[in-house]
Amino acid sequence: MAGLRLPDGWRDSGLGDRHGHPRRGEVDRRPSAGRSGSARRPPRCRPHLRLRGIVFRRDSPAEDWWRLRLTREHVLLLAISFSEHGILPVIDDVLADRTILERYFERLPRPVRLIVLAPTLEATLRRDAARDKQVAERWAYLAEPMSAALEGSGLWVDSTLLDVDETVAMVEARWDEAFVR
């Protein structure tokens, strides 16, 4: 299962210092895949900004899909602008289409990293059941298209058995594997 939190990323994670320049990163996830904790806690990130898109159900009217496209464009422009000023945004989006992912990759500042949080559907549903508002079942149909769209890109972390701290530690330890462009 995958979902997405998109770009650009985690400048003050300490990894930029080690490599001599700021780093950019993406985190991907499916709704309820564990974003609540990990999206808010990029690896030791200091100045960062979380940009959230919107998600519509597949039976949403065409106008909703147009709004989604417009929202993605605005989020992308904000991410680029903040990145240029030393603030590393984490874009929170759900993608089940490779062309949308490629569009982000083409326009975001380099380097770009993609991290896919990929817990099992069962783990996702279990986590979601413990929350005040349950939404995972509504979005479960996206699991396969998202996995197919993102296959072969970035770092995939099976976070089924990991808590937030362990997930962040795993991402930090495997940071270089997430490079996509």
Measured between its terminal Cα atoms, the distance across the chain in Å is 23
- CB of 23 within 8 A of CB of 16? yes
- Name residue, tokens 């904000």: 78
Res. 130: pLDDT tops 70: yes
Better pLDDT: 147 or 32: 147
**pLDDT tens by residue, 72-129:** 898 889 889 988 888 877 777 777 888 888 888 888 887 778 888 889 999 999 999 9
pLDDT for 68 equals: 82
Local confidence band at 22 (pLDDT 50, 70, 90 cut-offs): very low
pTM to 2 decimal places: 0.63
Range of the domain at 27: 5-178
Question: How many domains does the chain contain in total?
Answer: 1
The domain that holds 11 is classified in CATH as 3.40.50.300
Res. 32: pLDDT tops 60: no
- Kindly state the helix (H) or strand (E) to which residue 69 belongs, with its residue range: helix 62-84
